[in-house]
Amino acid sequence: MSISVKEASWAISNKPIVDSVTLGVETGQMLGLLGPNGSGKSSLLRLICGLRRVESGVITLGDQEISRIPRAQLSRRIALVEQQATTDAHISVEEVVRLGRTPHRGPLSPWTVTDEEAVAHALDSAGMTSKRARSWHTLSGGERQRVHIARALAQTPTELLLDEPTNHLDIQHQLDILSLVAKLPVTSVVALHDLNLAAMFCDRIAILQHGRVVAIGTPETVLTEDLIAEVFGVRTYVDRSPHHGRPHIHFLTRGG
């Protein structure tokens, strides 16, 4: 088990945001986190990478409890791609990706061959090598998301967390980013809104509601008409896509 969360809870001023969540991700798998706004997806991701501390429960990476792993060591292992993180700084693509080497370097240590190779490899994996000299401010939303993924990969993580990486992207770039993530040789947890995209790309799906996991399993077992109606409040018809074999969710209007 690559990531394992047991009974994790976290609250803001006594309002539970993540409520006794238990889930696990196998090494190399891609887990989709689905749920309405405010269901605790982002908070759960921040707990897993140690940005927030669980109030009760245990989160382990491999066989180590994350609260016992020092900050810098943790970020050499697990990387987070936030949604829509941007900057005013006049910074190039390569400079952003180089930030990913921060946890591997001391305060004054020089840039090494290993750093250079990690950056080159990360740029290559995210398909941004040809745009490495471009300024951040000239990039499209999809390209920025790719740069963030490259920055995360430069950390050489074994686990990658992505918080709604496809938000505000057009459909081509949504498909583009998710197939990129699905192909990466890392364990990943992705918070998503689009049920069909989650069904297409994720190995397993966890559905969150009011901070609790209400279902977890393969897309086929989790994405049922009843559960979607209960959690998202919409009527659907689910069948198997004849094109990619994954569940396909048809949304029905209230009258139909």
Residue 195 to residues 13, 50, 78, 207, 250: CA-CA distances in angstroms? 31, 27, 25, 10, 10
Which DSSP string do the residues of 31-68 spell out, in sequence order?
EEEE-STTSSHHHHHHHHTTSS--SEEEEEETTEEGGG
Toward another protein, which CB reaches closer, 110 or 185?
A: 110
Binding positions for another protein, 9-68, rule CB under 8 A: 46, 49, 51
Q: Give yes or no for residue 115 binding another protein (CB under 8 A).
A: no
Is 250 a binding residue for another protein by CB under 8 A? The answer is no
The residue type of 89 is A
Nearer to another protein, 98 or 248 (CB): 98
d(CA 55, CA 70): 18
Our CB check for another protein shows the closer of 107 and 242 to be: 107
**Min dist. Cβ of residue 82 to another protein (A):** 6
**Is the Cβ–Cβ distance between 228 and 236 less than 8 Å?**
yes
> What is the torsion angle, in degrees rounded to the nearest 10, for the CA atoms of residue 55, residue 25, residue 216 and residue 182?
120
Asked if 49 and 222 touch (Cβ cutoff 8 Å), the reply is no
User: Nearest distance from residue 77's CB to another protein, in Å?
Assistant: 10
Tokens of 171: 């459909």
Give the residue with the Cβ less far from another protein, 131 or 173.
131
Which of residues 169 and 223 has its CB atom nearest to another protein in the complex?
A: 169
Q: Provide the β-strand partners of residue 188.
A: 30, 160
| Type and span of the H or E element at 232 | helix 225-232
Q: Does 140 bind another protein (CB under 8 A)?
A: no
Nearer to another protein, 144 or 204 (CB): 144
Q: Report the nearest approach of another protein to the CB of residue 165 (Å).
A: 14
User: Minimal CA–CA distance to 84: which of 136, 38, 40, 144?
Assistant: 144
Binding track, positions 149-188, relative to another protein; x by CB under 8 A: ------x---------------------------------
Task: Tell me whether residue 134 or residue 246 sits nearer to another protein (CB atom).
Answer: 134
Cα(160)–Cα(48) distance, integer angstroms: 10
Question: Which tokens is 221 given?
Answer: 């077992």
- Taking contact as CB under 8 A, which single stretch among the options 53-61, 132-140, 169-177, 225-233 is the one that binds another protein? 132-140
Taking CB under 8 A as the binding criterion, the range among 33-41, 107-115, 197-205, 229-237 that sits at the site for another protein is 107-115
Interface residue with another protein among 71, 185, 239, 255 (CB under 8 A) is: 71
> Which positions touch another protein (CB under 8 A)?
46, 49, 51, 71-76, 79-80, 82, 85-92, 94-96, 98-100, 102-103, 105, 107-108, 110-111, 116, 132-133, 135, 137, 155
